[in-house]
Amino acid sequence: MVQELIDLRQSIVEGRYQDALDIVDELEGMGKQAILRNIESFLVRLLIHLIKNQVEKRLTNSWVASISDSIRQIKKLNLKDNKKAYYIKQDDWSEYLEEAFEVAILEASIEVSGGTYTPIQLEEIVNKEQVIKTALTLIDFTYRYTAKDLLSTVREYFVNLPGGKEWLERRI
């Protein structure tokens, strides 16, 4: 990126404005890709914990914290600087979730039930559609609720997850 900034400065100094605009477009693309990669990492983390929750039918404080933080970070990263537009529109999550699910299965196989399942076995056990549906519900909250209200809304939703009622009763 440093080289691009040097080239941009040189293009402006030399009056090559089309070259400068091309470099600006390239920098914007690089920035967007970096943001999408960060969103994907939080999406994978979210799915790992939803997979663990579904298979083990329980909810731990650690998983709750990880799911909540993943949703909070996705909201922050997805909102563009103008605070009115999103990098990923509300109806465009399917492709991202499909890709992230494949990675999440690999990583979750290390953690679920002490690593007793291979990724292939785990994928056969997991109800992928349900995990993705749950993830979509949580992601939808990022569009509907302010940052202030998001975490309490996510916390309230945990009662709908396997082991959520038991987790909530321990928390009271």
Output the tens digit of pLDDT for each of the chain's 172 residues.
667 666 667 767 777 767 667 666 575 766 678 898 999 999 999 999 999 999 999 999 999 999 999 999 999 999 987 778 999 999 999 999 999 999 999 999 999 999 999 999 999 999 999 999 999 999 999 999 998 899 999 999 999 999 999 998 886 4
Closest CA to 74 of 141, 132, 155, 149: 141
pTM of the model: 0.84
Please, what is the end-to-end C-alpha distance for the chain in angstroms?
A: 50
What was the pLDDT predicted at 168?
86
Q: Which residues lie closer than 8 Å to 142 by C-beta, 6 or more apart?
A: 71, 74, 75, 78, 150
What was the pLDDT predicted at 11?
66
Computed over its alpha carbons, how large is the radius of gyration of the chain?
20
By three-state DSSP, how is residue 117 classified?
coil
Tokens 């563009």 -> residue: 80
What was the pLDDT predicted at 172?
47
Percent of the chain that is helix, strand, coil (3-state, to 5): 80, 0, 20
Structure tokens of 51? 């997979």
Neighbours of 63 (CB within 10 A): 20
What was the pLDDT predicted at 7?
66
